[in-house]
Chain A
Amino acid sequence: MIAILCATCAGVTIVLSRSVNGYLSQKIGAYQSTFFNYFTGFLMSSIFLILFGFVNLKGFQFDILMRQPTLLIGGMIGVFNILILNITVPKISPVQLTLITFVAQLLSGVVIDYCIYDIFSIQKLIGCLIVIVGLIAYQLSDE
């Protein structure tokens, strides 16, 4: 039950964070609001690390990051994601943005699963198509 609530809350926080950032970017610009997003996020994650993750820090080998710099690419991609969202949020309805990003994420997930991990799931593809139909129906009823 707690896990179900947590998973739903994750979705709630995604939209809240995105909308707050988008709203802030309208006031102070996309770059500045992205900067504050990362700055406050860095402070918050450091607090969590000190509170709960300090044990894991002992014996941590920093040269892992030196040997595998590709591990850091995700953090860089994240910046472009937030910058793109800060431009997009003010121009598009929250419901549509949620659905479009979801569909794009799922379809690219299906492609990556197939190309890298060699898994193909037909349910995901069919489910995705149904979501797209729902998205188009939503879009049409909006006009």
Chain B
Amino acid sequence: MEFILAILAGTIVTIMNVFNGQLSNQVGVYLSTVIIHLVGLFTLIIIMIIKKQKISFQNHIPLILYTGGMIGVFTVFCNVMSISTIGAALVTALGLLGQMLTSLVLEYKGWLGAKKRTLTFQKVISLVLVMIGIGVMIL
């Protein structure tokens, strides 16, 4: 089940990027980021009203856990700053490299709720295979 959800998450990102790319072309990257978040906020509030969900801020949770959205904005700007210099293909490949390294650290240390797992030789080999695959893609 969670594998199907993960596939779905990846697929809709592609569709989202097509629409958001058009928006960004029309109004520029800074304004488009604001619009995307505002539209998202309204969409979510409608869904929450339908689902009868309430919003409440809880003090006992560390503030740092509320920063996911802020970090997400930096993703957009990092992409924008690099894409014009090194091109879309390399940005995608390096982006995956960054994702892999961060995921490995989270998994190895068991941070942010990730189940702690050890890094074995076979895992390293399979990740090298992944990197070769990415190399082929950007050829």
A residues near B104, Cβ cutoff 8 Å: 94-95
**Interface majority SS on B: helix, strand, loop or mixed?**
helix
CB distance from A93 to the nearest CB of B (A): 6
The number of A-B residue pairs with CB atoms under 8 Å apart is 363
CB distance from B45 to the nearest CB of A (A): 8
Contact B34 A81 (CB under 8 A): no
CB distance from B2 to the nearest CB of A (A): 4
User: What's the Cα separation between A21 and B44 when bound, in Å?
Assistant: 15
Of B28, B45, B48, chain A has the most CB atoms within 10 Å of the CB of B28
Instruction: Encode B15-34 as 1/0 by CB contact (under 8 A) with A.
Output: 11111101100111111011
User: What's the Cα separation between A126 and B136 when bound, in Å?
Assistant: 7
Contact B96 A102 (CB under 8 A): yes
Q: Which residues of B does A touch, CB under 8 Å? A: 2-3, 5-20, 22-23, 26-31, 33-41, 43-45, 47-48, 51, 53, 55-56, 58, 61, 64-79, 81-83, 85-86, 90-91, 94-104, 106-107, 111-115, 117, 120, 122-123, 125-130, 132-139
Sampled A-B contacts (27; CB under 8 Å): A7-B79, A7-B86, A9-B74, A10-B78, A12-B102, A17-B69, A19-B114, A20-B71, A21-B68, A23-B112, A31-B51, A33-B68, A35-B44, A35-B48, A41-B72, A71-B22, A75-B38, A79-B47, A83-B47, A84-B9, A91-B2, A93-B114, A106-B137, A127-B133, A132-B133, A138-B123, A142-B117
Additional 18 contacts, C-beta under 8 A, given A13-B74, A14-B75 = A12-B102, A15-B102, A16-B102, A19-B114, A24-B61, A32-B53, A35-B41, A37-B68, A38-B37, A48-B30, A81-B9, A82-B40, A84-B5, A95-B107, A101-B9, A102-B99, A130-B129, A130-B132
